[in-house]
Amino acid sequence: MLKTRRKELVINMKALIKGFSAALFAVLTTIMAIVGYYSQVLPESYYVSQNGSRTLNCLLHVTLESKEDAVSASSACGGEADGELKLFGVIPIKDASITKTEAPVLIPGGTPVGIKFLTDGVMVVKVQDVADGVCPAVEAGLCAGDNIVSANGQKLCSSSQLSDIISSSKGEKIELEVMRDNDVFSVSLSPVFSEHDGTYKAGIWIRDSSAGVGTLTYIDPATGCYGALGHPISDCDTYKTLPLGSGEIVDVTITGYEKGERGCPGELFGKFVSGLAAGSIVKNCDQGVFGRINYPSATAASAIPIAFKSEVKAGSAKILATIDGNSPKEYEVEIEKINLSESATTKNIVIKVTDQELLKLTGGIIQGMSGSPIIQDGKLVGAVTHVFVSDPTRGYGIFIEDMLEASNGAGLANAA
């Protein structure tokens, strides 16, 4: 009897140890997977305005901590320190660099701006057959989204210029310089005669300009530089970022809007106040449109500090937007989610409109609000970039830190 009980006890202990080992293995595997994921998606460098450990706004508890041997190096404004990301404040994820600096101060926008934009070269928006299934553009290797920079050595400034070159070619080859996704190459285009139009055609639809309404995000009081939109000016057919030739922003008055509904995003309508440029456009990129203001309408006294991405948190916030005239108003929103991944680009923040007035009037976020500043705890944290088509009360935003870094790339602003 005693031997039987001992045998049962041994069997039970083995089963318990086996179960515990399996559970421990599962936990360790999960932790390793989480660490691997955060190691891939979280940035390797951070700006901070003060020393000390801070909790990042991730789904799980992730902290950014200075290493002990780097504390003194980060004590001075502008100093760099070695840091480390840790899961639950204990498990190392990866090393990170920390730059301690004073937060830049910016004048928040919210005012509407008109965009006048001329491309560098001309963009192919569509290719089609000219006759009998023949498309010279396709045969030359062109496709929608390509940007044609020059033709027979002539720098292209307009669609009509390229059209004239093609129609007068008499079918002879035209040497084109083309840019596709930052790669530049040459092709030979052989136009064919179109019986329908009575002229030579290449089988391409092209675009050389864009215009629209957006929202100013900020003005740097120290330099007079601005940022707007929070996303690039893109071609409406190909969704490719338009290469900047020249451009300007102009004053706009909002005259009305179409209310947003599920499956149908609304839109702001406005008219250009005058032909005078309010500012230049010197850069068009993933993070927005940047340039210099000709005559600032706001004073430096209204400037507020920015919040670095490591400081942004879920919770209540406000947006500045204009849905009538040209004076912005504050509207209540909730920051629901924060994505620190560098691949998120213009979709770092998920916001939900909670302001009953704005919900009643526009249904939430509508087209034209892109660039509306997001303010939390008295700091400028980002800008509205997109509306959810399935739910106009919600949308995406970009970190203001990322907009400033893109602006710096063009030699603008006093960014961190």
What confidence tens digit (pLDDT) does each residue in 126-143 have? 998 887 788 999 999 999
Active-site position among 66, 74, 169, 231: 231
**283 vs 27 pLDDT, higher one:** 283
**CB atoms closer than 10 angstroms to residue 132:** 7
pLDDT exceeds 60 at position 162: yes
Q: What is the pLDDT of residue 382?
A: 96
Identify the pLDDT of residue 102: 85
More confident residue, 25 or 211: 211
Mean pLDDT of 278-288: 92
pLDDT in tens, 380-392: 999 999 999 999 9
Environment class of residue 313 by beta-carbon count within 10 Å: exposed (0-12), middle (13-18) or buried (19+)? middle
Catalytic residue of the set 355, 372, 402, 407: 355
**Is the pLDDT reported for residue 348 higher than 80?**
yes
* Percent of the chain with pLDDT strictly greater than 90: 50
Please check whether residue 380 is in contact with residue 339, taking contact to mean a CB–CB distance below 8 angstroms: no
Q: Is 145 left (phi over 0), alpha (psi -120 to 50) or beta?
A: left
Q: Which residue has the higher pLDDT, 109 or 32?
A: 109
Per-residue pLDDT, 191 = 92
Contacts of 127 (CB under 8 A, 6+ apart): 135, 137, 138, 142, 143, 144, 203, 204, 205
Alpha helices in 101-245 (DSSP H): 136-140, 159-167
Check residue 76 and give its pLDDT: 44
Q: Model-level pTM?
A: 0.83
Is 61 one of the annotated active-site residues of the chain?
no
Question: Pick the catalytic residue: 74, 159, 210, 370?
Answer: 370
